[in-house]
Amino acid sequence: MTETLKQSLEESLKKRRTYYALKAESPLADAEIEEKIKTALLNVPSAFNSQSSRIVLLLGEHHAALWQIVKDVLKKKVPAEAFPKTEAKINNCFAAGYGTILFFEDMPTVEGLQKSFPPYAANFPVWSQQTSAMHQLAVWLLLEEAGFGASLQHYNPVIDDEVRHRWNLPENWLLIAQMPFGLPAAEPDAKDYQPLEERFKVFR
C-alpha cells in the first residue's frame, strides 16, 4: 500500500504541468472536487499549526464571474490596443475551464502569531506564503490525479477588492493565487529542465 501511494505521488508530480487549453468538463462530481480541497486543507502542514490558509472554490456562474472581473479590471489598466490579446488569453485559457480555486491567507492568524512569538515575527509572513504554496501544490496534485489540467495565476492584487465584494469575503483574507482547472483540451508546452547537478548536492 505504501509503495503504491508513493508511486502515485511520484507520477502525479511528474505529470503535473501548466495546462492553458482547458475544457469546461469534469471527470468528478462537484462534491468530489470539494472533498479533495478539504483533504488538502485538513492535511497540509503549516508553521506553528497556524492553519492560516483559506480556499474558495468557484464553479459554474461563479467561475465565469471571476474571469469577467479580471477582464473588467484589466480593461482599465491595459492599453486599448493590447487588450484584445489579453481578453483572448483569459477567455481561451482560464474562463474556458470548469472552475477556479482561489487561495487566500488569513492575515489576523499571521498577525496573532507575530504578537505571540515576537522573536519570529518577521518570519511568519514568509511561513504563511510557504503554507499557501504547499496547499497550492497539494490541490494541484489532487486535481492532476483526478484527470484535470490546471494552471496557477496571479491577478492579485488588482482584483482583490472586486473579488471580496462579489463573494462577501473577509477584508483580512489576502488573495495569493488563482487556479483555473478543467479537462485538458491540448497537451502542455514542452518544459525545459536545468541540469540536476547544478540544483542538487549530496554529501555522504
Which CATH number is 68's domain given? 3.40.109.10
Whether 108 has a pLDDT exceeding 50, the answer reads yes
Would you place residue 3 in the very low, low, confident or very high pLDDT band (cuts 50, 70, 90)?
A: low
Identify the domain containing residue 166 by its residue range. 29-184
Q: Is pLDDT at 163 greater than 90 in this prediction?
A: yes
pLDDT of residue 185: 93
Backbone angles phi, psi at 36, to 5 degrees: -65, -40
Please report whether residue 2 resides in a domain: no
pLDDT range class, residue 189, cuts 50, 70, 90: confident
- Pair 29, 192: CB distance under 8 Å: no
Q: How many domains does the chain have?
A: 1
Cβ–Cβ under 8 Å, residues 54 and 104: yes
Between residues 5 and 177, the one the model is more confident about: 177
CA atoms within a 13 Å half-sphere pointing along the CA-CB vector of 66:
28
User: Would the pLDDT of 19 be above 80?
Assistant: yes
In a domain, 83, yes or no: yes
pLDDT of residue 1: 45
pTM: 0.94
Model pLDDT for residues 77-101, shown as the tens digit of each residue: 999 999 999 999 999 999 999 999 9
